[in-house]
Amino acid sequence: MSVASVPDRDVLARGVAASLRRRHTTVRLGRTGIRFATRAAQVNAALVAAAVVAAVVGIMIGDYGIGLDQVGASILGVADDQLAQYFVREVRLPRAVCALLVGAALGMSGAIFQTVSGNPLGSPDIIGFTTGAATGALVQIILLDGGTLAVAIAALLGGLVTAAIVYGLSWRAGVAGFRLVLVGIGVGAALGAVNALLVVKASLEAAQTAAQWLAGSLNATLWPEARAVAIALAVLTPVAIGCSRALAQLPLGDETATGLGVRVERSRLVLVLVGVGLMGVATASTGPIAFVALAAPHLVRRLARTPGTGLIGSALMGAVLVLVSDIVARRLFAPTELAVGVITGSLGGLYLIWLLAIERKRL
């Protein structure tokens, strides 16, 4: 090694250190320091602002337009226009809250499954869990003629049972990510055929109800649906955040993660249960809203320029996607309202094609 190379190395080291300092910020609370990625924090802040704007716009627009000044007054219950107050508090606000919460649940679920499977296509839409939730709901709608609550419970149970089947079939002294995805795709295809058979054999009325539910719609969401998703998020989000260390280490491989002190199979099982729970509650409340779980984590990673999957960022991106898609669904062919799942499915299909093309170039 030449003497001249030593200063060059020092300059390089200082440059790398400076780059890391620019990318991260440390907030100190007494003796405790919290270090976070600066760009990721900026992206999250922008997503919070976008979600608030989208929610307010969603409350304002409609056949009965409501001004911005009336939105705040209506939420507080002091609006001069009682009809506007009714629309805000009983119709549009619960819809906006439910869209935000469902999007957040789907975004986090997608982030969890993409990390656990180690596959960019590892979302509940692709690996069959959403299809399983739909199977449970269809059995209740078509065969048992169940009400709204029964359909929601059946959808949640359908997702959990499907997850158990996929996880069990993927087990070979542990669960490898590629097996989880392949088995999930196979189980999802089989359940998709079952769903089609159920709809074909159903009565006209039941088939119409099933088709409406399968489209994934926020049109009939009220406070009970929003509360159910809020409770699920309040319970499952702390569990997911508690597994953040495992989420960060699992992409390094099972052996490396184990060497770093992560109980791999236990963490993977807990994360799968949390991801299925988030997906199941969201699907039970609105029906299957396609591709949000797939797209949200990817979009956040690209915006934040981070290799890892951020739960909070994915949740915020999911919320923004559902809120904006719902606005488009309501106004694209106004006064006719589309199901939000139609919009997310259309956009998500294009995104999936683009993602597959990108992955093909890397091979």
pLDDT tens for the chain, residues 1 to 363: 444 444 444 543 444 444 444 455 555 545 554 555 677 788 889 999 999 999 999 999 888 888 888 888 888 888 777 888 888 888 899 999 999 999 999 999 999 988 888 777 788 888 888 999 999 999 998 888 777 788 888 998 999 999 899 888 888 766 676 788 888 899 999 999 999 999 888 888 888 888 888 888 888 888 888 998 899 999 999 998 888 887 777 777 767 777 777 777 788 888 889 999 999 899 988 989 988 998 899 888 888 877 666 889 999 999 999 999 999 998 888 788 888 999 998 887 787 787 777 766 665
Q: What are phi and psi of 61, to 5 degrees?
A: -85, 160
What distance, in Å, lies between the first and last C-alpha atoms of the chain?
Answer: 37
Gap between the Cα atoms of 112 and 114, Å rounded: 6
Residue 207 CB neighbours (<10 A): 17
CATH of 34-361, one of 1.20.1630.10, 1.10.3470.10, 1.10.645.10, 3.30.70.940: 1.10.3470.10
Instruction: Report the pLDDT value the prediction gives residue 37, as an integer from 0 to 100.
Output: 63
Instruction: Report the pLDDT value the prediction gives residue 233, as an integer from 0 to 100.
Output: 92
Residue ranges covered by each domain of the chain: 34-361
Interacting residues of 236 by C-beta distance below 8 A, sequence separation 6+: 274, 277, 278
CA dist list (Å): 172 to 176, 179, 290: 8, 9, 30
Q: Can you name the residues that pair with 37 across neighbouring β-strands?
A: 24
Tokens of 259: 């060497």
Gap between the Cα atoms of 351 and 212, Å rounded: 24
Return the C-alpha torsion angle 170, 151, 288, 110, nearest 10: -50
Note the Cα 297 to chain centre separation in Å.
Answer: 8
CA dist list (Å): 308 to 36, 68, 176, 218: 13, 38, 19, 31
Instruction: Report the pLDDT value the prediction gives residue 7, as an integer from 0 to 100.
Output: 45
155 with 284: CB under 8 angstroms?
yes
Instruction: Report the pLDDT value the prediction gives residue 147, as an integer from 0 to 100.
Output: 77
Instruction: Report the pLDDT value the prediction gives residue 1, as an integer from 0 to 100.
Output: 44
Note the Cα 270 to chain centre separation in Å.
Answer: 17
Residue 261 CB neighbours (<10 A): 9
Q: Which of 111, 51, 13 is nearest to 311 (CA)?
A: 111
